[in-house]
Structure 1
Protein backbone atom coordinates (compact mmCIF):
# COMPACT_ATOMS: atom_id res chain seq x y z
CA UNK A 1 0.00 0.00 0.00
CA UNK A 2 2.81 2.21 0.30
CA UNK A 3 3.51 2.89 -3.24
CA UNK A 4 1.83 6.23 -3.47
CA UNK A 5 4.26 7.15 -0.72
CA UNK A 6 7.09 5.71 -2.79
CA UNK A 7 6.82 8.36 -5.44
CA UNK A 8 6.17 11.33 -3.16
CA UNK A 9 7.82 13.49 -0.53
CA UNK A 10 6.94 16.55 1.41
CA UNK A 11 7.54 19.77 3.19
CA UNK A 12 9.78 22.63 2.17
CA UNK A 13 13.07 22.76 4.08
CA UNK A 14 12.37 22.07 7.73
CA UNK A 15 8.88 23.62 7.74
CA UNK A 16 6.58 20.74 8.65
CA UNK A 17 3.26 22.54 8.67
CA UNK A 18 0.72 22.02 5.85
CA UNK A 19 0.40 24.74 3.22
CA UNK A 20 -2.04 27.52 4.06
CA UNK A 21 -4.10 26.87 0.92
CA UNK A 22 -3.85 23.30 -0.32
CA UNK A 23 -5.40 24.28 -3.68
CA UNK A 24 -3.05 27.19 -4.35
CA UNK A 25 -0.65 26.50 -7.25
CA UNK A 26 2.79 25.60 -5.85
CA UNK A 27 5.12 28.57 -6.33
CA UNK A 28 8.29 26.64 -5.48
CA UNK A 29 9.45 23.19 -6.66
CA UNK A 30 9.36 21.61 -3.21
CA UNK A 31 5.85 22.95 -2.62
CA UNK A 32 4.54 20.64 -5.37
CA UNK A 33 5.78 17.72 -3.30
CA UNK A 34 4.39 19.27 -0.13
CA UNK A 35 0.92 19.55 -1.60
CA UNK A 36 0.75 15.91 -2.69
CA UNK A 37 1.98 14.63 0.64
CA UNK A 38 -0.62 16.74 2.42
CA UNK A 39 -3.29 15.10 0.24
CA UNK A 40 -2.06 11.62 1.20
CA UNK A 41 -1.84 12.53 4.87
CA UNK A 42 -5.53 13.47 4.73
CA UNK A 43 -6.39 10.36 2.70
CA UNK A 44 -7.58 12.71 -0.06
CA UNK A 45 -6.87 10.60 -3.13
CA UNK A 46 -9.17 12.74 -5.25
CA UNK A 47 -7.19 15.82 -4.28
CA UNK A 48 -3.94 14.01 -5.03
CA UNK A 49 -5.13 13.23 -8.56
CA UNK A 50 -6.23 16.81 -9.10
CA UNK A 51 -2.95 18.28 -7.88
CA UNK A 52 -0.62 15.75 -9.51
CA UNK A 53 -1.34 16.60 -13.16
CA UNK A 54 -2.43 19.60 -15.24
CA UNK A 55 -6.21 20.03 -15.77
CA UNK A 56 -6.14 18.94 -19.41
CA UNK A 57 -4.33 15.69 -18.55
CA UNK A 58 -6.70 15.13 -15.63
CA UNK A 59 -9.64 15.29 -18.04
CA UNK A 60 -8.02 12.75 -20.36
CA UNK A 61 -7.36 10.43 -17.43
CA UNK A 62 -10.99 10.69 -16.31
CA UNK A 63 -12.07 9.70 -19.81
CA UNK A 64 -9.61 6.78 -19.91
CA UNK A 65 -10.87 5.63 -16.49
CA UNK A 66 -14.52 5.63 -17.60
CA UNK A 67 -13.55 3.75 -20.75
CA UNK A 68 -11.83 1.09 -18.67
CA UNK A 69 -8.35 1.91 -20.00
CA UNK A 70 -6.72 2.90 -16.71
CA UNK A 71 -7.20 3.33 -12.98
CA UNK A 72 -4.53 6.00 -12.51
CA UNK A 73 -3.31 7.02 -9.92
CA UNK A 74 -3.94 3.56 -8.50
CA UNK A 75 -1.54 2.31 -11.17
CA UNK A 76 1.24 3.66 -8.95
CA UNK A 77 0.49 0.79 -6.57
CA UNK A 78 2.09 -2.65 -6.87
CA UNK A 79 -0.45 -5.24 -8.07
CA UNK A 80 -2.94 -2.46 -8.81
CA UNK A 81 -4.75 -4.76 -11.25
CA UNK A 82 -5.75 -6.94 -8.28
CA UNK A 83 -7.21 -4.13 -6.20
CA UNK A 84 -10.82 -4.55 -7.46
CA UNK A 85 -10.74 -8.28 -6.65
CA UNK A 86 -9.18 -7.49 -3.27
CA UNK A 87 -12.05 -5.12 -2.43
CA UNK A 88 -14.62 -7.65 -3.65
CA UNK A 89 -13.13 -10.39 -1.47
CA UNK A 90 -13.13 -8.13 1.59
CA UNK A 91 -16.70 -6.95 1.02
CA UNK A 92 -18.22 -10.35 0.21
CA UNK A 93 -20.82 -11.90 2.56
CA UNK A 94 -19.11 -13.73 5.42
CA UNK A 95 -15.76 -12.34 4.21
CA UNK A 96 -14.42 -12.12 7.74
CA UNK A 97 -15.10 -15.80 8.40
CA UNK A 98 -13.80 -16.99 5.04
CA UNK A 99 -10.65 -14.88 5.01
CA UNK A 100 -9.88 -15.72 8.61
CA UNK A 101 -10.09 -19.41 7.73
CA UNK A 102 -7.69 -18.92 4.81
CA UNK A 103 -5.29 -16.98 7.02
CA UNK A 104 -5.43 -19.59 9.78
CA UNK A 105 -4.75 -22.38 7.30
CA UNK A 106 -1.88 -20.71 5.44
CA UNK A 107 -0.26 -18.05 7.60
CA UNK A 108 -1.18 -18.23 11.29
CA UNK A 109 1.93 -18.95 13.34
CA UNK A 110 4.14 -19.18 10.23
CA UNK A 111 6.52 -16.53 11.56
CA UNK A 112 9.70 -18.06 10.16
CA UNK A 113 8.21 -18.67 6.72
CA UNK A 114 6.75 -15.18 6.49
CA UNK A 115 10.03 -13.56 7.49
CA UNK A 116 11.86 -15.61 4.92
CA UNK A 117 9.30 -14.62 2.28
CA UNK A 118 9.75 -10.94 3.14
CA UNK A 119 13.50 -11.25 2.71
CA UNK A 120 13.18 -13.10 -0.59
CA UNK A 121 10.60 -10.70 -2.01
CA UNK A 122 12.79 -7.79 -0.97
CA UNK A 123 15.75 -9.17 -2.90
CA UNK A 124 13.63 -9.92 -5.97
CA UNK A 125 11.96 -6.51 -5.98
CA UNK A 126 15.26 -4.68 -5.50
CA UNK A 127 16.81 -6.52 -8.44
CA UNK A 128 13.77 -5.72 -10.54
CA UNK A 129 13.71 -1.97 -9.92
CA UNK A 130 17.47 -1.69 -10.38
CA UNK A 131 17.54 -3.35 -13.80
CA UNK A 132 14.03 -3.79 -15.25
CA UNK A 133 11.05 -1.61 -16.09
CA UNK A 134 10.91 1.94 -17.40
CA UNK A 135 12.01 3.69 -14.22
CA UNK A 136 13.97 6.91 -14.03
CA UNK A 137 17.32 6.88 -12.21
CA UNK A 138 15.70 8.77 -9.34
CA UNK A 139 12.93 6.20 -9.06
CA UNK A 140 15.35 3.28 -9.10
CA UNK A 141 17.35 4.74 -6.23
CA UNK A 142 14.28 5.81 -4.21
CA UNK A 143 12.40 2.55 -4.66
CA UNK A 144 15.42 0.42 -3.81
CA UNK A 145 15.67 2.23 -0.46
CA UNK A 146 11.94 1.82 0.15
CA UNK A 147 12.00 -1.87 -0.67
CA UNK A 148 14.90 -2.43 1.70
CA UNK A 149 12.99 -0.66 4.49
CA UNK A 150 9.79 -2.60 3.81
CA UNK A 151 11.62 -5.91 3.59
CA UNK A 152 13.32 -5.27 6.93
CA UNK A 153 9.95 -4.39 8.46
CA UNK A 154 8.38 -7.56 7.04
CA UNK A 155 11.09 -9.67 8.65
CA UNK A 156 10.24 -8.38 12.13
CA UNK A 157 6.52 -7.62 11.86
CA UNK A 158 4.08 -10.01 13.60
CA UNK A 159 2.47 -11.06 10.31
CA UNK A 160 1.73 -14.54 11.67
CA UNK A 161 -0.23 -13.24 14.69
CA UNK A 162 -3.76 -14.60 14.35
CA UNK A 163 -5.26 -12.12 16.82
CA UNK A 164 -3.97 -9.13 14.89
CA UNK A 165 -5.11 -10.70 11.63
CA UNK A 166 -8.64 -11.17 12.92
CA UNK A 167 -8.88 -7.49 13.87
CA UNK A 168 -7.30 -6.36 10.59
CA UNK A 169 -9.63 -8.45 8.42
CA UNK A 170 -12.70 -7.15 10.24
CA UNK A 171 -11.63 -3.53 9.86
CA UNK A 172 -10.69 -3.84 6.20
CA UNK A 173 -13.87 -5.73 5.36
CA UNK A 174 -15.99 -2.98 6.90
CA UNK A 175 -14.04 -0.30 5.04
CA UNK A 176 -14.34 -2.18 1.73
CA UNK A 177 -18.11 -2.44 2.10
CA UNK A 178 -18.40 1.24 2.94
CA UNK A 179 -16.49 2.19 -0.21
CA UNK A 180 -19.27 0.90 -2.45
CA UNK A 181 -16.63 -0.19 -4.96
CA UNK A 182 -16.87 -3.95 -4.61
CA UNK A 183 -19.29 -4.62 -7.46
CA UNK A 184 -18.35 -5.78 -10.96
CA UNK A 185 -16.78 -2.98 -13.00
CA UNK A 186 -17.43 -0.59 -10.10
CA UNK A 187 -14.36 1.57 -10.72
CA UNK A 188 -15.21 2.28 -14.35
CA UNK A 189 -18.89 2.91 -13.67
CA UNK A 190 -18.18 5.21 -10.73
CA UNK A 191 -15.52 7.25 -12.53
CA UNK A 192 -12.14 8.48 -11.38
CA UNK A 193 -13.02 11.35 -9.05
CA UNK A 194 -15.86 9.59 -7.23
CA UNK A 195 -13.94 6.31 -6.99
CA UNK A 196 -10.91 8.03 -5.49
CA UNK A 197 -13.14 9.92 -3.07
CA UNK A 198 -14.74 6.66 -1.93
CA UNK A 199 -11.35 4.96 -1.63
CA UNK A 200 -10.03 7.64 0.70
CA UNK A 201 -11.54 6.16 3.89
CA UNK A 202 -10.36 2.67 2.89
CA UNK A 203 -6.85 4.04 2.33
CA UNK A 204 -6.97 5.63 5.78
CA UNK A 205 -8.21 2.42 7.42
CA UNK A 206 -5.46 0.44 5.70
CA UNK A 207 -2.86 2.79 7.14
CA UNK A 208 -4.38 2.39 10.61
CA UNK A 209 -4.30 -1.40 10.32
CA UNK A 210 -0.60 -1.29 9.46
CA UNK A 211 0.11 0.73 12.60
CA UNK A 212 -0.90 -2.41 14.52
CA UNK A 213 1.95 -4.18 12.75
CA UNK A 214 4.50 -1.50 13.54
CA UNK A 215 4.32 0.41 10.27
CA UNK A 216 3.13 4.02 10.58
CA UNK A 217 2.86 5.67 7.16
CA UNK A 218 1.30 8.84 8.53
CA UNK A 219 4.30 9.32 10.79
CA UNK A 220 6.52 8.95 7.72
CA UNK A 221 4.45 11.51 5.83
CA UNK A 222 4.56 13.90 8.77
CA UNK A 223 8.33 13.59 8.96
CA UNK A 224 9.32 14.08 5.32
CA UNK A 225 11.72 16.93 4.68
CA UNK A 226 12.02 18.36 1.16
CA UNK A 227 14.46 20.97 -0.05
CA UNK A 228 15.51 22.37 -3.40
CA UNK A 229 18.72 20.75 -4.64
CA UNK A 230 19.01 22.58 -7.97
CA UNK A 231 16.86 24.50 -10.44
CA UNK A 232 17.29 25.52 -14.07
CA UNK A 233 14.36 27.52 -15.40
CA UNK A 234 11.28 25.30 -15.43
CA UNK A 235 12.99 22.13 -14.18
CA UNK A 236 14.38 21.29 -10.76
CA UNK A 237 15.51 18.50 -8.44
CA UNK A 238 14.17 18.21 -4.91
CA UNK A 239 15.91 16.24 -2.18
CA UNK A 240 13.57 14.27 0.08
CA UNK A 241 14.48 12.78 3.43
CA UNK A 242 12.25 10.86 5.83
CA UNK A 243 12.09 7.70 7.91
CA UNK A 244 10.08 4.63 6.90
CA UNK A 245 9.87 1.55 9.12
CA UNK A 246 12.77 2.88 11.21
CA UNK A 247 14.97 3.20 8.12
CA UNK A 248 16.24 6.59 6.83
CA UNK A 249 15.35 7.38 3.22
CA UNK A 250 17.38 9.96 1.29
CA UNK A 251 16.45 10.43 -2.37
CA UNK A 252 15.73 12.95 -5.12
CA UNK A 253 12.73 13.65 -7.36
CA UNK A 254 12.55 15.78 -10.49
CA UNK A 255 9.88 18.43 -10.85
CA UNK A 256 8.87 20.63 -13.78
CA UNK A 257 6.75 23.72 -14.29
CA UNK A 258 3.76 23.92 -16.64
CA UNK A 259 1.59 27.04 -16.92
CA UNK A 260 3.09 28.40 -13.73
CA UNK A 261 2.52 25.25 -11.65
CA UNK A 262 5.07 22.64 -10.54
CA UNK A 263 4.54 18.89 -10.97
CA UNK A 264 6.57 15.75 -10.23
CA UNK A 265 8.16 14.69 -13.53
CA UNK A 266 7.86 10.93 -13.03
CA UNK A 267 4.23 11.19 -11.95
CA UNK A 268 3.49 13.22 -15.09
CA UNK A 269 5.28 10.67 -17.25
CA UNK A 270 3.31 7.78 -15.78
CA UNK A 271 0.02 9.67 -16.08
CA UNK A 272 0.63 10.55 -19.73
CA UNK A 273 1.26 6.88 -20.50
CA UNK A 274 -1.93 5.86 -18.70
CA UNK A 275 -4.04 8.49 -20.48
CA UNK A 276 -2.86 7.12 -23.84
CA UNK A 277 -3.29 3.48 -22.86
CA UNK A 278 -5.47 1.37 -25.15
CA UNK A 279 -8.13 -1.01 -23.89
CA UNK A 280 -6.02 -4.02 -24.92
CA UNK A 281 -2.93 -2.75 -23.11
CA UNK A 282 -4.92 -2.06 -19.96
CA UNK A 283 -5.58 -5.77 -19.44
CA UNK A 284 -2.12 -7.03 -20.44
CA UNK A 285 -0.35 -8.99 -17.65
CA UNK A 286 2.47 -7.30 -15.78
CA UNK A 287 5.75 -8.64 -14.49
CA UNK A 288 5.66 -9.50 -10.77
CA UNK A 289 6.28 -6.39 -8.69
CA UNK A 290 6.06 -4.08 -11.70
CA UNK A 291 4.06 -0.90 -11.82
CA UNK A 292 1.54 -0.49 -14.59
CA UNK A 293 3.10 1.36 -17.49
CA UNK A 294 5.57 3.45 -15.49
Structure 2
Protein backbone atom coordinates (compact mmCIF):
# COMPACT_ATOMS: atom_id res chain seq x y z
CA UNK A 1 0.00 0.00 0.00
CA UNK A 2 1.37 3.30 -0.98
CA UNK A 3 -0.89 5.67 0.94
CA UNK A 4 0.23 5.99 4.60
CA UNK A 5 -3.31 6.50 5.84
CA UNK A 6 -4.47 3.25 4.24
CA UNK A 7 -1.42 1.38 5.52
CA UNK A 8 -2.00 2.47 9.11
CA UNK A 9 -5.78 2.71 9.08
CA UNK A 10 -6.63 -0.61 7.46
CA UNK A 11 -5.82 -2.76 10.52
CA UNK A 12 -7.67 -0.27 12.69
CA UNK A 13 -10.62 -0.27 10.30
CA UNK A 14 -10.80 -4.06 10.20
CA UNK A 15 -10.69 -4.24 13.99
CA UNK A 16 -13.15 -1.39 14.52
CA UNK A 17 -15.56 -2.86 11.98
CA UNK A 18 -15.99 -6.23 13.69
CA UNK A 19 -19.56 -5.09 14.15
CA UNK A 20 -23.11 -5.71 13.16
CA UNK A 21 -26.73 -5.50 14.32
CA UNK A 22 -29.44 -3.61 12.46
CA UNK A 23 -29.88 -4.56 8.83
CA UNK A 24 -30.61 -1.64 6.43
CA UNK A 25 -28.34 -2.23 3.49
CA UNK A 26 -29.44 1.06 1.88
CA UNK A 27 -27.04 2.72 4.34
CA UNK A 28 -24.11 1.25 2.40
CA UNK A 29 -24.95 3.46 -0.55
CA UNK A 30 -24.51 6.64 1.50
CA UNK A 31 -21.74 8.37 3.40
CA UNK A 32 -22.05 7.59 7.10
CA UNK A 33 -25.12 6.17 8.78
CA UNK A 34 -28.45 7.54 9.91
CA UNK A 35 -27.69 6.03 13.34
CA UNK A 36 -24.42 4.82 14.91
CA UNK A 37 -25.57 1.20 14.55
CA UNK A 38 -26.61 1.68 10.92
CA UNK A 39 -23.23 3.21 10.09
CA UNK A 40 -21.42 0.22 11.56
CA UNK A 41 -23.71 -2.38 9.99
CA UNK A 42 -23.29 -0.90 6.51
CA UNK A 43 -19.53 -0.94 6.98
CA UNK A 44 -19.54 -4.61 7.95
CA UNK A 45 -21.65 -5.49 4.90
CA UNK A 46 -19.16 -3.75 2.62
CA UNK A 47 -16.18 -5.27 4.39
CA UNK A 48 -17.57 -8.79 4.04
CA UNK A 49 -18.16 -8.15 0.35
CA UNK A 50 -14.64 -6.77 -0.10
CA UNK A 51 -16.07 -3.61 -1.66
CA UNK A 52 -13.29 -1.33 -0.43
CA UNK A 53 -14.05 1.69 -2.60
CA UNK A 54 -17.64 1.84 -1.34
CA UNK A 55 -16.40 1.07 2.18
CA UNK A 56 -14.20 4.20 2.24
CA UNK A 57 -16.96 6.19 0.53
CA UNK A 58 -19.36 5.12 3.27
CA UNK A 59 -16.91 5.41 6.20
CA UNK A 60 -15.78 8.98 5.43
CA UNK A 61 -17.70 12.22 4.80
CA UNK A 62 -17.72 13.22 1.11
CA UNK A 63 -14.98 15.87 1.48
CA UNK A 64 -12.69 13.47 3.32
CA UNK A 65 -13.29 10.74 0.76
CA UNK A 66 -12.39 13.20 -1.99
CA UNK A 67 -9.19 14.05 -0.10
CA UNK A 68 -8.39 10.34 0.21
CA UNK A 69 -8.59 9.89 -3.57
CA UNK A 70 -6.56 13.05 -4.22
CA UNK A 71 -3.92 11.99 -1.69
CA UNK A 72 -3.67 8.64 -3.44
CA UNK A 73 -2.71 10.37 -6.69
CA UNK A 74 -0.22 12.54 -4.80
CA UNK A 75 1.36 9.48 -3.22
CA UNK A 76 1.51 7.72 -6.59
CA UNK A 77 3.49 10.61 -8.00
CA UNK A 78 6.13 10.28 -5.28
CA UNK A 79 6.29 6.46 -5.28
CA UNK A 80 9.74 4.91 -4.84
CA UNK A 81 11.23 3.67 -8.15
CA UNK A 82 11.22 -0.10 -8.63
CA UNK A 83 14.71 -1.60 -8.37
CA UNK A 84 16.02 -4.24 -10.75
CA UNK A 85 16.12 -6.76 -7.90
CA UNK A 86 12.49 -6.06 -6.98
CA UNK A 87 11.51 -6.40 -10.63
CA UNK A 88 13.30 -9.74 -10.94
CA UNK A 89 11.70 -11.12 -7.77
CA UNK A 90 8.26 -10.01 -8.94
CA UNK A 91 8.61 -11.71 -12.32
CA UNK A 92 9.93 -14.90 -10.73
CA UNK A 93 7.01 -15.05 -8.30
CA UNK A 94 4.42 -14.36 -11.02
CA UNK A 95 5.91 -17.02 -13.29
CA UNK A 96 5.67 -19.59 -10.51
CA UNK A 97 2.13 -18.63 -9.56
CA UNK A 98 0.80 -18.15 -13.08
CA UNK A 99 2.44 -20.92 -15.07
CA UNK A 100 0.79 -24.13 -16.30
CA UNK A 101 -0.05 -26.56 -13.48
CA UNK A 102 1.27 -23.97 -11.03
CA UNK A 103 -0.57 -25.39 -8.01
CA UNK A 104 0.73 -28.93 -8.57
CA UNK A 105 4.29 -27.79 -9.23
CA UNK A 106 4.41 -25.45 -6.24
CA UNK A 107 3.00 -28.08 -3.91
CA UNK A 108 5.53 -30.62 -5.20
CA UNK A 109 8.28 -28.12 -4.29
CA UNK A 110 6.70 -27.32 -0.93
CA UNK A 111 5.98 -30.86 0.24
CA UNK A 112 9.53 -31.93 1.17
CA UNK A 113 10.27 -28.50 2.67
CA UNK A 114 7.13 -28.73 4.77
CA UNK A 115 8.12 -32.14 6.09
CA UNK A 116 11.60 -30.85 6.97
CA UNK A 117 10.15 -27.77 8.68
CA UNK A 118 7.77 -29.91 10.71
CA UNK A 119 10.63 -32.07 11.92
CA UNK A 120 12.74 -29.02 12.75
CA UNK A 121 10.19 -26.64 14.24
CA UNK A 122 7.20 -28.63 15.54
CA UNK A 123 8.62 -29.00 19.04
CA UNK A 124 9.95 -25.43 19.03
CA UNK A 125 6.73 -23.76 17.91
CA UNK A 126 5.14 -23.45 21.40
CA UNK A 127 8.30 -21.77 22.69
CA UNK A 128 8.48 -19.45 19.67
CA UNK A 129 4.83 -18.49 20.14
CA UNK A 130 5.45 -17.81 23.83
CA UNK A 131 8.35 -15.52 22.95
CA UNK A 132 6.17 -13.75 20.38
CA UNK A 133 3.38 -13.43 22.94
CA UNK A 134 5.70 -11.77 25.45
CA UNK A 135 6.99 -9.34 22.81
CA UNK A 136 3.50 -8.43 21.55
CA UNK A 137 2.05 -7.93 25.02
CA UNK A 138 5.04 -5.83 26.01
CA UNK A 139 4.56 -3.67 22.91
CA UNK A 140 0.88 -3.20 23.76
CA UNK A 141 1.64 -2.34 27.39
CA UNK A 142 4.27 0.23 26.39
CA UNK A 143 2.24 1.80 23.58
CA UNK A 144 1.78 5.55 23.91
CA UNK A 145 -1.04 5.69 21.38
CA UNK A 146 -3.38 3.09 22.91
CA UNK A 147 -5.69 3.98 25.78
CA UNK A 148 -5.93 1.63 28.76
CA UNK A 149 -9.24 0.35 27.42
CA UNK A 150 -7.68 -0.36 24.00
CA UNK A 151 -4.76 -2.13 25.65
CA UNK A 152 -7.16 -4.39 27.54
CA UNK A 153 -9.02 -5.13 24.31
CA UNK A 154 -5.79 -5.89 22.45
CA UNK A 155 -4.68 -8.26 25.21
CA UNK A 156 -8.02 -10.06 24.93
CA UNK A 157 -7.58 -10.58 21.19
CA UNK A 158 -4.02 -11.83 21.70
CA UNK A 159 -5.24 -14.27 24.37
CA UNK A 160 -7.50 -15.80 21.70
CA UNK A 161 -5.24 -15.60 18.66
CA UNK A 162 -2.03 -16.92 20.18
CA UNK A 163 -3.46 -20.27 21.31
CA UNK A 164 -4.82 -20.66 17.78
CA UNK A 165 -1.35 -20.03 16.36
CA UNK A 166 0.10 -22.52 18.85
CA UNK A 167 -2.43 -25.28 18.13
CA UNK A 168 -3.01 -24.94 14.38
CA UNK A 169 -1.47 -27.76 12.30
CA UNK A 170 0.60 -25.46 10.08
CA UNK A 171 2.60 -28.37 8.66
CA UNK A 172 -0.42 -30.43 7.64
CA UNK A 173 0.07 -31.56 4.04
CA UNK A 174 -3.59 -31.53 3.02
CA UNK A 175 -4.11 -27.99 4.30
CA UNK A 176 -0.90 -26.84 2.65
CA UNK A 177 -2.09 -28.23 -0.69
CA UNK A 178 -5.38 -26.32 -0.34
CA UNK A 179 -3.50 -23.15 0.62
CA UNK A 180 -1.27 -23.40 -2.45
CA UNK A 181 -4.37 -23.72 -4.62
CA UNK A 182 -5.88 -20.59 -3.08
CA UNK A 183 -2.62 -18.64 -3.52
CA UNK A 184 -2.38 -19.60 -7.19
CA UNK A 185 -6.06 -18.81 -7.87
CA UNK A 186 -5.74 -15.43 -6.13
CA UNK A 187 -2.59 -14.55 -8.06
CA UNK A 188 -4.33 -15.34 -11.32
CA UNK A 189 -7.32 -13.21 -10.34
CA UNK A 190 -5.01 -10.32 -9.50
CA UNK A 191 -3.55 -10.62 -13.01
CA UNK A 192 -0.48 -8.50 -12.34
CA UNK A 193 1.90 -8.75 -15.27
CA UNK A 194 4.52 -6.21 -14.22
CA UNK A 195 5.47 -4.30 -11.05
CA UNK A 196 5.02 -1.04 -12.97
CA UNK A 197 1.35 -1.94 -13.21
CA UNK A 198 1.08 -1.47 -9.45
CA UNK A 199 2.46 2.07 -9.69
CA UNK A 200 0.21 2.94 -12.63
CA UNK A 201 -3.09 1.84 -11.07
CA UNK A 202 -5.53 4.51 -9.99
CA UNK A 203 -7.50 4.40 -6.74
CA UNK A 204 -10.45 2.47 -8.21
CA UNK A 205 -8.28 -0.18 -9.84
CA UNK A 206 -6.26 -0.64 -6.67
CA UNK A 207 -9.37 -1.07 -4.54
CA UNK A 208 -10.45 -3.80 -6.95
CA UNK A 209 -7.13 -5.59 -6.44
CA UNK A 210 -7.51 -5.23 -2.67
CA UNK A 211 -10.88 -6.97 -2.95
CA UNK A 212 -9.30 -9.94 -4.72
CA UNK A 213 -6.46 -10.15 -2.19
CA UNK A 214 -8.93 -9.86 0.73
CA UNK A 215 -11.00 -12.73 -0.63
CA UNK A 216 -7.87 -14.87 -0.99
CA UNK A 217 -6.74 -14.05 2.54
CA UNK A 218 -10.12 -15.03 4.00
CA UNK A 219 -10.02 -18.38 2.16
CA UNK A 220 -6.47 -19.04 3.41
CA UNK A 221 -7.41 -18.30 7.02
CA UNK A 222 -10.49 -20.51 6.76
CA UNK A 223 -8.30 -23.45 5.72
CA UNK A 224 -6.53 -23.15 9.07
CA UNK A 225 -9.70 -22.73 11.09
CA UNK A 226 -10.22 -18.96 11.28
CA UNK A 227 -13.39 -17.77 9.56
CA UNK A 228 -13.41 -13.99 9.24
CA UNK A 229 -17.02 -13.99 8.05
CA UNK A 230 -18.16 -16.09 11.03
CA UNK A 231 -16.56 -13.54 13.34
CA UNK A 232 -18.22 -10.65 11.52
CA UNK A 233 -21.58 -12.42 11.54
CA UNK A 234 -21.34 -13.01 15.30
CA UNK A 235 -21.25 -9.32 16.22
CA UNK A 236 -23.96 -7.75 18.33
CA UNK A 237 -24.18 -4.05 19.16
CA UNK A 238 -25.48 -2.40 22.29
CA UNK A 239 -25.80 1.42 22.34
CA UNK A 240 -24.25 2.80 25.52
CA UNK A 241 -24.66 6.55 25.03
CA UNK A 242 -25.72 9.11 22.45
CA UNK A 243 -25.39 12.76 23.40
CA UNK A 244 -24.44 16.00 21.64
CA UNK A 245 -23.23 14.35 18.45
CA UNK A 246 -21.13 11.66 20.18
CA UNK A 247 -22.18 8.03 20.61
CA UNK A 248 -20.57 5.00 22.20
CA UNK A 249 -21.55 1.49 21.14
CA UNK A 250 -20.58 -1.76 22.85
CA UNK A 251 -19.47 -4.45 20.40
CA UNK A 252 -19.77 -8.10 21.41
CA UNK A 253 -18.39 -10.72 19.03
CA UNK A 254 -17.01 -14.23 18.93
CA UNK A 255 -13.48 -14.92 17.73
CA UNK A 256 -12.43 -18.57 17.33
CA UNK A 257 -15.23 -19.60 19.64
CA UNK A 258 -14.32 -17.14 22.39
CA UNK A 259 -16.57 -14.18 23.31
CA UNK A 260 -14.91 -10.77 23.23
CA UNK A 261 -16.12 -7.20 23.48
CA UNK A 262 -14.93 -3.71 22.67
CA UNK A 263 -16.42 -0.26 22.21
CA UNK A 264 -16.65 2.14 19.28
CA UNK A 265 -17.02 5.91 19.48
CA UNK A 266 -18.85 7.64 16.65
CA UNK A 267 -19.37 11.30 15.83
CA UNK A 268 -22.17 13.00 13.94
CA UNK A 269 -21.44 15.36 11.06
CA UNK A 270 -24.15 16.87 8.87
CA UNK A 271 -26.67 14.42 10.27
CA UNK A 272 -24.59 11.29 9.52
CA UNK A 273 -22.51 9.09 11.86
CA UNK A 274 -18.83 8.15 11.41
CA UNK A 275 -16.08 6.40 13.38
CA UNK A 276 -14.30 9.08 15.40
CA UNK A 277 -10.91 7.31 15.30
CA UNK A 278 -11.06 6.70 11.56
CA UNK A 279 -12.10 10.27 10.82
CA UNK A 280 -9.31 11.74 12.96
CA UNK A 281 -6.77 9.40 11.36
CA UNK A 282 -7.88 10.33 7.83
CA UNK A 283 -7.69 14.06 8.51
CA UNK A 284 -4.32 13.86 10.23
CA UNK A 285 -2.87 11.86 7.33
CA UNK A 286 -4.25 14.36 4.82
CA UNK A 287 -2.71 17.29 6.70
CA UNK A 288 0.67 15.55 6.88
CA UNK A 289 0.67 14.77 3.16
CA UNK A 290 -0.30 18.33 2.27
CA UNK A 291 2.42 19.73 4.53
CA UNK A 292 4.99 17.40 2.97
CA UNK A 293 3.91 18.42 -0.53
CA UNK A 294 4.11 22.11 0.36
CA UNK A 295 7.56 21.68 1.91
CA UNK A 296 8.90 19.82 -1.12
CA UNK A 297 7.49 22.31 -3.66
CA UNK A 298 10.04 25.12 -3.03
CA UNK A 299 12.90 22.60 -3.12
CA UNK A 300 11.68 21.23 -6.42
CA UNK A 301 11.28 24.72 -7.85
CA UNK A 302 14.77 25.67 -6.70
CA UNK A 303 16.20 22.54 -8.26
CA UNK A 304 14.49 23.37 -11.55
CA UNK A 305 15.89 26.91 -11.53
CA UNK A 306 19.40 25.63 -10.83
CA UNK A 307 19.17 23.23 -13.77
CA UNK A 308 18.17 26.07 -16.06
Structure 1 distance, partners of 2:213, 2:286, is 25
2:52 is aligned to: 45
Counterpart in 2 of 1:178?
189
Q: Would you say the 8 A contact 2:115–2:171 is kept in 1? A: no
> What count of residue pairs does the alignment treat as equivalent?
264
Structure 2 CA distance, aligned partners of 1:275 and 1:52? 16
1-structure distance, mates of 2:275, 2:261? 17
Q: Distance in 1 between matches of 2:163 and 2:208?
A: 32
Per the alignment, do residues 28 and 89 of structure 1 end up closer, same or farther by CA in structure 2, a change over 3 Å counting? farther
2:233 aligned to which of 207, 222, 231: 222
Distance 1:144 1:189, change over 3 A: farther
Give 1:143 shift.
2.5
Q: What TM-score do you get using the length of structure 1 for normalisation?
A: 0.76
The correspondence of residues 160-199 of structure 1 with structure 2, limited to 5 A, is 160-181=171-192, 183-184=194-195, 186-199=197-210
1:63-115 per-residue CA deviation (whole Å, 9 max, x = no partner) reads 22223279xxxxxxxxxxxxx99x95895211465685496387445333334
Counterpart-to-counterpart distance in 2, 1:204 and 1:251: 25
* 1:92 has 2:94 as partner: yes
Q: Distance in 1 between matches of 2:125 and 2:203?
A: 35
- Deviation digits for residues 160-185 of structure 1 (CA, Å, limit 9, x no counterpart): 22331232123123213322457425
Map of 2:302 onto structure 1: none
Residue 14 (structure 2) pairs with residue 5 (structure 1): yes
Confirm or deny: 8 A CA contact 2:69 2:203 kept in the other structure.
Answer: yes
> Is the CA contact 2:266–2:275 (under 8 Å) kept in the aligned structure 1?
yes
Distance (Å, rounded) in 1 between the aligned partners of 2:96 and 2:291: 34
Q: Is the 8 A contact 1:52 1:263 kept in 2?
A: yes
Q: CA 1:138 to 1:275, structure 2 compared with 1: closer, same or farther past 3 Å?
A: farther
**Which shifted more, 184-193 or 171-180?**
184-193
- Structure 2 match to 1:63: 70
Change (3 A) 1:141 1:51: farther
Unpaired segments of 5 or more residues in structure 1? 71-83, 282-294
CA positional deviation for 1:157: 1.0
Shift of the 122–19 alpha-carbon distance from structure 1 to 2, 3 Å rule, reads: farther
CA RMSD of the aligned region, Å? Answer: 3.3
- Contact 2:27 2:33 (C-alpha < 8 Å) held by counterparts: no
Change (3 A) 1:162 1:58: same
Q: Who is 2:256 aligned against? A: 245
Task: Give how far 1:243 is off.
Answer: 0.6
- 2:305 matched to which residue of 1? none
Distance verdict in 2 for CA 1:170–1:33, change over 3 Å: same
| SS of the residue 2:34 aligns to | coil
Specify which of 23, 28, 40 is matched with residue 22 of structure 1. 28
Kindly indicate whether the alpha-carbon contact (under 8 Å) linking 2:36 and 2:266 is maintained by their aligned counterparts in 1: yes
